[in-house]
Amino acid sequence: MAVYTDVDDEALAAFLTEYGLGEVLSFKGIVEGVENSNYLLETSRGRYILTLFEKRVAEADLPFFVGLLDHLALNGLSCPTPIHGRDGRALRRLAGRPAIVVSFLTGVSPRRPDVRQCASLGRVLAALHEAGRGFAMPRANALSLDGWRRLAAQTRAGADTVRAGLAQAIDDELAALGRLWPGDLPQGIIHGDLFPDNVFFVGGDVSGVIDFYFACNDALAYDLAVCLNAWCFEPDGAFNATKARALARAYDAARPLAPAERRALPVLCRGAALRFLLTRLYDWVNQVPGAMVRPKDPLEYLIKLRFHQGATGAGTYGLD
Amino acid sequence: MAVYTDVDDEALAAFLTEYGLGEVLSFKGIVEGVENSNYLLETSRGRYILTLFEKRVAEADLPFFVGLLDHLALNGLSCPTPIHGRDGRALRRLAGRPAIVVSFLTGVSPRRPDVRQCASLGRVLAALHEAGRGFAMPRANALSLDGWRRLAAQTRAGADTVRAGLAQAIDDELAALGRLWPGDLPQGIIHGDLFPDNVFFVGGDVSGVIDFYFACNDALAYDLAVCLNAWCFEPDGAFNATKARALARAYDAARPLAPAERRALPVLCRGAALRFLLTRLYDWVNQVPGAMVRPKDPLEYLIKLRFHQGATGAGTYGLD
């Protein structure tokens, strides 16, 4: 939500000599992406985003992220496309940080996506999963069962200060998911964090997907479960079954879900809800006074978790 | 240096129904302007900046600022041009704040302007003063002698915690300027805050001037004195006479300075240095712990003030 590392016109000009992008016409820090510093760069050749990776993104993971964006763009997904320098490299350093230049994407993130936008998202999520096929670099999901157990341990002392009984509720859910979590679903590249602020629209249609810094290999249907959590609840906590149906059916029409994926959907949705409950809880109990980023309410995801615990099957999400 | 007021896609769409700007293609908060929230807006008609005025800009002054931008743009200055709605109004409200849409300006602010850029600035400063002629709305300079006296009183208790003897140095300079300050110089619209971050360049030439929220009626040559302070000192405190000569001579060639203006230049430069010393000192001694904006060092302007106190005349600034 800010620019953490300052880049001046001279440092920019020196950096850009590695590229063939022409004269700089505009350069502005933008408020996009919680994790990194982002600048909108316009040159005589076009518009780009310059990203400086701040310390929250592990430097060892950057070749995976850059390679993935290359692969997804090559396979037709509208995502930031890394610009390679004259030496062929896309990833280099600027102002002491790892940095990349990527293509600019048109579109606006919706605050409250409508049904048509949910359907468009479903199609694009399936396209993302299809475009990810054949990408050879592996990256484990650090925020699956083991990661949740670690976060639960790290937040246990503070959980009940947020809501009495929260620590026990988390432990119970972790125990249940340990028994129920499916290990045999179709795997592939997932986005892992496909919230509305990571999707651009022009009108009702997705124009681009950004922020792949939680992307990893995992069950493809888990990505759909993340989206059902992030896109299909109203601000008052109500589950919007019309949006869920539009999202899930559009996904299923483009990439038909296997019977095991359909059966697992309620459990996957529970896991996705627990994942965001835990990461938000971690940020909440570790707030820095005066920090620039206000943490999000973890209890929003307790409400969502409770809903999924009561789901009867894929039908809850609009799939027959 | 941030976006203080959040505007979502729905609020934006409702706001833009008052304009004829077409479909929204992109909308990003940008890190530009310390005082306000700014968004870069792209529509099917073009690119614009949406500004929401935060509380540091007095709402009663907004018609002056908007009218001035209209007037300057009409008279050929490359500055943000207010976009008027279907009802003819440029100033309206959004998210509880006064808001305007203005034209987008190409260019990049230089961290360390070079000699050619200083010359271009001199020409554009003269053009700004010329374009301001005939603008009928008055606005007094709240940061001239009386304002400095008020700031000196408000910072007196804290001044010596920044540097021993600073309070006395300020009082001495205020007393001297009270005797020396010229009252009869050519008046007009001044920008009042024409620092490098308020000027865009493409290559060596000014492409636009922004941030007119200190604009007012005052001695035109005082604006030149502000620029000599802001553009012609190196980071180590040294006065760069080559840059000053380029700036002052380019200004003088476009708008010849009267003999009284030349004579007054050292005193005007002292006043400008004291003005930024005092406002920076005020921000320094009134820091809010954890605030998002880091205050600038006031003592940079004590060094500049000392230089101007030793000036022998307009020749110090490159004018014969």
CB pairs under 8 A between A and B: 81
Reported as type and span, the H/E element at residue A223 is: helix A220-231
Instruction: Compute the nearest-CA separation of A24 from chain B (Å).
Output: 7
Work out the percent of chain A whose per-residue pLDDT is above 90: 91
Query: A10 and B203: CB-CB below 8 Å?
Result: no
Question: Is any Cβ of chain B less than 8 angstroms from the Cβ of A23?
Answer: yes
Q: Is the pLDDT of residue B291 over 70?
A: no
Give the mean model confidence (pLDDT) for residues B170-181. 98
- Domains of chain A, first to last: 9-103 (3.30.200.20), 115-317 (3.90.1200.10)
Q: Is the pLDDT of residue A304 over 90?
A: yes
Res A232: pLDDT: 98
Name the nearest CA neighbour of B65 among B55, B76, B79. Answer: B79
A2 closest CB neighbour out of B2, B12, B42: B2
**Chain B residues with CB inside 8 Å of A197's CB?**
none
Query: B31 and A32: CB-CB below 8 Å?
Result: no
Res B294: pLDDT: 74
Q: Is the pLDDT of residue B203 over 90?
A: no
**Chain B residues with CB inside 8 Å of A23's CB?**
202-203
Reported as type and span, the H/E element at residue B16 is: helix B9-16
Instruction: Compute the nearest-CA separation of B229 from chain A (Å).
Output: 20
Residue B1 confidence class, pLDDT cut points 50, 70, 90:
very low
Question: Is any Cβ of chain B less than 8 angstroms from the Cβ of A296?
Answer: no
**Mean pLDDT of all residues belonging to chain A:** 95
Question: Is any Cβ of chain B less than 8 angstroms from the Cβ of A25?
Answer: yes
Question: Is any Cβ of chain A less than 8 angstroms from the Cβ of B164?
Answer: no
More confident residue, A192 or A58: A192
A8 closest CB neighbour out of B23, B30, B111: B111
* Helix-helix angle B145-162:B259-285, to 10 degrees: 50
Residue B148 phi, psi dihedral angles, 5° rounding: -65, -40
Work out the percent of chain A whose per-residue pLDDT is above 70: 98
Give the mean model confidence (pLDDT) for residues A89-109. 96
Reported for B173-179, long-range contacts at CB under 8 A and 24+ positions apart, including other chains, are: B173/B270, B173/B274, B173/B305, B173/B309, B174/B145, B174/B148, B174/B149, B174/B274, B176/B270, B177/B145, B177/B148, B177/B267, B177/B270, B177/B271, B177/B274, B178/B145
Name the nearest CA neighbour of A174 among A196, A144, A198. Answer: A144
**Chain B residues with CB inside 8 Å of A27's CB?**
108
Please tell me whether residue B260 adopts helix, strand or coil conformation.
helix
**Chain B residues with CB inside 8 Å of A2's CB?**
2, 31, 292
**Mean pLDDT of all residues belonging to chain B:** 95
Q: Please write the tens of the pLDDT for every residue from A198-230.
A: 999 998 999 999 999 999 999 999 999 999 999
Q: Is the pLDDT of residue B208 over 70?
A: yes
Q: Is the pLDDT of residue A48 over 50?
A: yes
Cα(B72)–Cα(B75) distance, rounded to whole angstroms? 5
Give the mean model confidence (pLDDT) for residues B160-184. 97
* Radius of gyration for chain A, computed over Cα atoms and rounded to the nearest angstrom: 20
A15 within 8 A of A30, measured Cβ to Cβ: no
**Among B219-233, B237-251, B280-294, which stretch is predicted with the lowest mean pLDDT?**
B280-294
Question: Is any Cβ of chain A less than 8 angstroms from the Cβ of B160?
Answer: no
Q: Please write the tens of the pLDDT for every residue from B236-264.
A: 999 999 999 999 999 999 999 999 999 99
**Chain A residues with CB inside 8 Å of B12's CB?**
108
Name the nearest CA neighbour of B225 among B184, B179, B262. Answer: B262
* Radius of gyration for chain B, computed over Cα atoms and rounded to the nearest angstrom: 20
Residue A137 phi, psi dihedral angles, 5° rounding: -80, 130
Query: B291 and A289: CB-CB below 8 Å?
Result: no
Residue B290 confidence class, pLDDT cut points 50, 70, 90:
low
Nearest-Cα residue of chain A relative to residue B40: A30
Question: Is any Cβ of chain B less than 8 angstroms from the Cβ of A74?
Answer: no
Name the nearest CA neighbour of A196 among A142, A125, A253, A144. Answer: A125
Cα(B192)–Cα(B214) distance, rounded to whole angstroms? 5
Res B2: pLDDT: 61
**Chain B residues with CB inside 8 Å of A290's CB?**
289-291
Q: How many residues does chain B have?
A: 320
> How far, in Å, are A267, A270, A295, B233, B242 from residue A169 at the CA level?
16, 12, 21, 62, 71
A14 within 8 A of A46, measured Cβ to Cβ: no
**Chain A residues with CB inside 8 Å of B29's CB?**
30-32
Question: Is any Cβ of chain B less than 8 angstroms from the Cβ of A18?
Answer: no
B8 within 8 A of B95, measured Cβ to Cβ: no
**DSSP assignment of A148-159:** HHHHHHHHHHHH
Residue B123 confidence class, pLDDT cut points 50, 70, 90:
very high
Give the mean model confidence (pLDDT) for residues A297-302. 96
A30 closest CB neighbour out of B31, B109, B289: B31
Query: B28 and A31: CB-CB below 8 Å?
Result: yes
**Chain B residues with CB inside 8 Å of A3's CB?**
31
Query: A28 and B25: CB-CB below 8 Å?
Result: no
Q: Is the pLDDT of residue A233 over 80?
A: yes
**Chain B residues with CB inside 8 Å of A31's CB?**
2-3, 28-31
